[in-house]
Structures are given as structure tokens and as C-alpha cells.
Amino acid sequence: MDTFTDSEYPEENHQAPAAPQAQAEPQEPDTHQTPQPEPAAPQAPQPDSGAYHGTGTGRKESPYANSPYVTGQYQQNQYQYQPQTQPPEKPKKKNKSHKSLWRGIVAAALAVALVAGGCLITAACVNSTWEKRSAETTRQFNRKLEELQKLIDGSSGGSGVIPAMDGDAMTPAQLYQSNVSSVVAISGMVQSSFYGQTTEGTSSGSGFVLTEDGYVVTNYHVVQDASNITVTTHDGQEYSATVKGYDAANDVAVLKVDAEGLDDATVGSSSELVIGDMVVAIGNPLGKLTATETVGYVSGINREVTTDNTVISMIQTDAAINPGNSGGPLFNMYGEVIGITTAKYSGTTNSGASIEGIGFAIPIDDVMGIISDLIDYGYVTGAYMGITVKDIDKDAAAQFGLPTEGAYVVEVLEGSGADKAGIQPKDLIVGLDGRAISSRTDLTRALRNYKAGDTVTVDVVRSGRELTLTITFDEKPHEEEVTAETVPQEDASMPSEGNYEDWYDYFRRFFG
């Protein structure tokens, strides 16, 4: 079959080829029908009839030309090509330059407005903060200026010291100004014997006001053997005092004066002390230098000091403690009482070495329970086991394979709480209510946390076996009245040796 391409058609007068006509259905020949004349030969298509161009020019005719099959007729000249004399004009673009320019201007203006607004807000915040700080600084400056002006004018309100802000540590000068009025001088009459001669003298010491209604705390040895006890406040007021109660084992006594509105001291906590903390002692050394302040540091904690065959755990300090300071307060730098100044080592040792800067104070936490009992009952109702103990001989314990730490039971009082609990002599107490006990001092301090009637567990080692017993504490034995007659008398003769402990015992009888 011959093929053709679109190039065989001229560009002009494009016409679709005539659709072939439908073929008639074949019929059987009719012998009686008059024969039809032969159809005339097809005529060549005219140029304007839409026939295939080039017919009769030597080219091959289209196979679709004059097809005997006709299915439908296309309307002639339906899709005729209409040549254009000139190209169509392109649509003109709209000029967007003006809109773009305005959009940029608006965006820039918004950006500037946002930056300016942020700067204004930041400036306002900074200005507000600065104004607050400036106002606070000005207020503090004006307050200090007023204090300085009072000092210059010599007014009664000016103390010479600018007080510390609330909650801040004080300088020694601020502490003295704030707390000296709570420190008192204590004096009494005592009888002593020198070489068989009985003489009467004056003992002196220090103390501090615990409550504004007249309870005063001091050392027991300050009022021991004393009569006609007098308490003198910092402003010179003298009050006759009575001994409300005492605990000789812990060297604590409570006095009562008939007064109201006294300046009471603030009690702190000794458990928070660390070596190196600054401390201040205020007292009356030698009984004459009233309201003396000495400043030092905590040199040691839990020092075991023996006084009158009683071991007391104390705070060691290098603040000067002299005869007459005993019973006075030891302050931390927040103006809180954290100890009761009690003793010092001074003089020379047997080897001739001098002793300086070794003072001691009873931790306030160890005696506050005792002080409360003395105020409420006049005696100590604290826990009492009914045993005598001593520190264990570590060498002997190691030799026999026994624990080297604990409180060794020497004697058990018949019918006491310890006896009822099953504690026996030669038992080694190593624990009390879950707290480890390594010495008799540990046991003494642990008992201060309990009252008569409390029931706790006691861990003991007996014959190499550890036992856990249960004890109910008794009340400590006490004397009904505290008088000079009930206090054991001591020999007050002058020591003939230079041992520092003997000299300490001598001075403590006359100057607490």
C-alpha cells in the first residue's frame, strides 16, 4: 500500500477527504428485471470540490479518493485555514515597579518599627531595674549616713557601731554592742581554809540571761559553796539570786532573780560549729574587769576535759578565757550563744613548757535539756541507767580479742533500770538506740537526748557475744534543796606544786 505525508498536501485549501458512502446490501440477480445501464465513468474532481489535489498531475491518487463507501458527509470548508497578514500583538505587561517599591518601603517601615519597639521595651525594663537598685542603694546609704550623723552629733542613739543587717554575720564590735546587756556578773560569799585558818572571801564569775523574767545560766562551780549570791547586770543593777538547780556532773547551774524585762540572750546550736569558726567570749575576768570581750576561733571540737573526776566533752577555743569568765556565754558571729565558757589551761607543765591560748566551753546543745529540767523541776529528770562505767583498756581488749571501743560496765545498781534490763558488770556497751558508743563520754552525751520513762535498746558485748537488751530509764537521783550544807566542801589550801591542774583547781574556787 502506498503511503503519503502531509507534505504532499498544499498548505492552502486543506479539506478533509470525503467520507465513503455506505455500500448497498447485495441482492440476488433478478432474471426478469430490465438490465440497467452501466454507470458512467467517474469524472475527475474539480479543484474547488475538495478532491485530492494533484489528481492527473502524475502523482499517485489517494486511496480514499472517490471511495464507494460513504458513512457520512463532512461539511465543506468547516475548518479552513485563515492566513494572517501580521503577527498578533503580545499583551502588554503591567508595570509592577511602583507596587514593588511601595511594598519594600512598607516592609522596611515595619522592621524599623519592630526594632524600635524592642529597644524601647528593653530600655524600659533596664531603667526600671536600675531605678529599683538605685533606690535600694540610696536607702542604705541614707541609713548609714543617719547613723554616722548620730555619731557626729553625739546623740544618745549613736552607739559608735553601725548595726549589721538582719541575718548577716556581725563584726566583733557589732556583736558586743548587741549582746553585752545580756551578760551578767555573779558574785557570792565563800568560806575557805588556809593552813588551818578559816577565812571568808568572795567568789566571782559570769553568766547570761536566758529569759527576760530572770532565769540566769552559769557554771555550777561558780556558785558552789557560795552564799549571798548577787547578779549584776551591765547597766549596774544588782539583784539577789537563788540557785534554782544545778547538775554537778555537767557543771551547769540555773539562778533566779526577781526581775522583769531583762535583755535575754539568743541561744544557737553548737552542732553547726566547725574548726576555724570565729567566736567571741564576753565575761568578767578576775571579777573586776566587767564586760570584757575576747575574740578567737574554734580550735577543737569534742575535747574531753576532766573536772572533779568528771569527763565533759567541750569546745576548745583560743579566745582568752580567764578566771572570772566561767559561766559566761561563748557567741558565734551571729550573736547566738553556742557554749558556756568553763575552763582554761594555763601556767606551766611539769616539764616547764608554758601553756597559752587553750580555753574550753561546754557545747550548748549538750546542756539545754538539763537547763530546761532545772528551770521546770529544780533538778535533772534526765535518763538514768543506774550503772558505773569507764573507758575500756584498749590494749587489754586487743590482747583478748575484744572490741576496743565502748563503755565498760564496772557496777550495776540493784533495782535500777539497767539491772532490770539484764545489764551485768563487765558488759561492754557498744550501742544505745542504734547510736554507736565508743566511750563513756559518748554514753553520757547520748543519755542527754532522753528523759525518765523512755524505753530504748542497748547493745552490749558479753563473753564475745553481742546482745540487744531493752531498758527503761529511771529518773536521776537528786537533792530536794540546794544549799551550801549539801554541797561537798573542798580543801582550798594553796597548792604547793606547780602543776597546772592544781593551779587551775585553786583559781576556779575563787574565780569561776
Question: Is 50 exceeded by the pLDDT of residue 485?
Answer: no
Beta-carbon neighbour count of residue 20 at 10 Å?
A: 14
Specify whether 251 is catalytic: yes
Alpha carbon separation from 461 to 394, 418, 430, 441 (Å, rounded)? 15, 15, 7, 18
Strongest mean pLDDT among 64-73, 193-202, 241-250:
241-250
Q: What is the pLDDT of residue 88?
A: 58
Coil, strand or helix at 191: strand
Q: What is the pLDDT of residue 486?
A: 32
Q: What is the pLDDT of residue 60?
A: 52
Last residue of one domain, picked from the residues 207, 235, 257: 257
Distance CA 329, CA 264 (A): 12
Instruction: Indicate if 305 and 348 belong to the same structural domain.
Output: yes
Q: Between these two residues, 151 and 210, which has the higher pLDDT value?
A: 210
Last residue of one domain, picked from the residues 148, 168, 187: 148
Q: What is the pLDDT of residue 447?
A: 87
Q: What is the pLDDT of residue 51?
A: 47
* Predicted confidence (pLDDT) per residue in 368-411, tens digit: 989 998 999 888 888 889 999 988 877 777 777 778 788 999 99
C-alpha cell of residue 126: 533596664
DSSP for residue 496: S
Q: What is the pLDDT of residue 471?
A: 95
Q: What is the pLDDT of residue 121?
A: 79
Q: Beta strand 266-267 with 336-348: parallel, antiparallel or unpaired?
A: parallel
Question: Is 50 exceeded by the pLDDT of residue 450?
Answer: yes
The one catalytic residue among 225, 247, 251, 442: 251
pLDDT class of 506 with cuts at 50, 70, 90: very low
Q: What is the pLDDT of residue 491?
A: 38
Question: Is 90 exceeded by the pLDDT of residue 468?
Answer: yes
Strand partners, 204: 187, 511
Question: Is 80 exceeded by the pLDDT of residue 68?
Answer: no
C-alpha cell of residue 374: 532545772
Instruction: Indicate if 470 and 415 belong to the same structural domain.
Output: yes
Distance CA 463, CA 401 (A): 11
Question: Is 90 exceeded by the pLDDT of residue 16?
Answer: no
Q: What is the pLDDT of residue 489?
A: 34
Q: Between these two residues, 202 and 164, which has the higher pLDDT value?
A: 202
CATH number, position 185: 2.40.10.10
Question: Is 80 exceeded by the pLDDT of residue 273?
Answer: yes
The one catalytic residue among 203, 204, 299, 326: 326
Half-sphere exposure (Cβ direction) of 131: Cα atoms closer than 13 Å: 6
Tell me how far the alpha carbon of residue 377 is from its chain's centroid.
38
Q: Does 428 fall in a domain? A: yes
Question: Is 60 exceeded by the pLDDT of residue 479?
Answer: no
What is the rounded average pLDDT for all residues in the chain? 75
From 146-160, 211-225, 352-366, the region with the lowest mean pLDDT: 146-160
Beta-carbon neighbour count of residue 157 at 10 Å?
A: 9
Instruction: Indicate if 291 and 341 belong to the same structural domain.
Output: yes
Distance CA 384, CA 323 (A): 33
From 120-134, 187-201, 447-461, 479-493, the region with the lowest mean pLDDT: 479-493
Q: Does 233 fall in a domain? A: yes
Q: Does 87 fall in a domain? A: no
Instruction: Indicate if 356 and 277 belong to the same structural domain.
Output: yes
Q: Does 318 fall in a domain? A: yes
Q: What is the pLDDT of residue 424?
A: 93
Instruction: Indicate if 102 and 196 belong to the same structural domain.
Output: no
Instruction: Indicate if 278 and 349 belong to the same structural domain.
Output: yes
CA geometry: angle 330, 185, 295, nearest 5 deg = 30
Q: What is the pLDDT of residue 21?
A: 46
Question: Is 60 exceeded by the pLDDT of residue 65?
Answer: no
Q: What is the pLDDT of residue 493?
A: 38
Instruction: Indicate if 367 and 392 belong to the same structural domain.
Output: no
Q: What is the pLDDT of residue 157?
A: 45
Q: Does 416 fall in a domain? A: yes
Q: What is the pLDDT of residue 338?
A: 96
Q: Does 55 fall in a domain? A: yes
Q: Does 303 fall in a domain? A: yes
Percent of the chain with pLDDT over 90: 35
Full residue range of the structural domain in which residue 140 is found: 97-148
Specify whether 48 is catalytic: no
Instruction: Indicate if 453 and 387 belong to the same structural domain.
Output: yes
Q: What is the pLDDT of residue 211?
A: 95
Q: Between these two residues, 118 and 295, which has the higher pLDDT value?
A: 295
pLDDT class of 478 with cuts at 50, 70, 90: low
The one catalytic residue among 178, 221, 346, 373: 221
Question: Is 90 exceeded by the pLDDT of residue 185?
Answer: yes
Last residue of one domain, picked from the residues 236, 257, 278: 257
Distance CA 1, CA 72 (A): 25
pLDDT class of 240 with cuts at 50, 70, 90: very high
Instruction: Indicate if 403 and 431 belong to the same structural domain.
Output: yes
Per DSSP, helices labelled H in 94-240 are: 97-153, 172-179, 220-223
Domain count, the chain: 5
* Predicted confidence (pLDDT) per residue in 83-118, tens digit: 555 555 555 555 555 666 777 787 888 788 777 777
Average pLDDT score over residue span 277-290: 89
Q: What is the pLDDT of residue 107?
A: 80
- The answer for residues whose C-beta is within 8 angstroms of residue 134's C-beta and 6 or more apart is none
Instruction: Indicate if 416 and 327 belong to the same structural domain.
Output: no
- The answer for residues whose C-beta is within 8 angstroms of residue 45's C-beta and 6 or more apart is 51, 52, 55, 65, 66
CATH number, position 436: 2.30.42.10
Specify whether 14 is catalytic: no
Question: Is 50 exceeded by the pLDDT of residue 31?
Answer: no
Distance CA 191, CA 206 (A): 20
Q: What is the pLDDT of residue 308?
A: 64
Q: What is the pLDDT of residue 441?
A: 81
Q: What is the pLDDT of residue 402?
A: 75
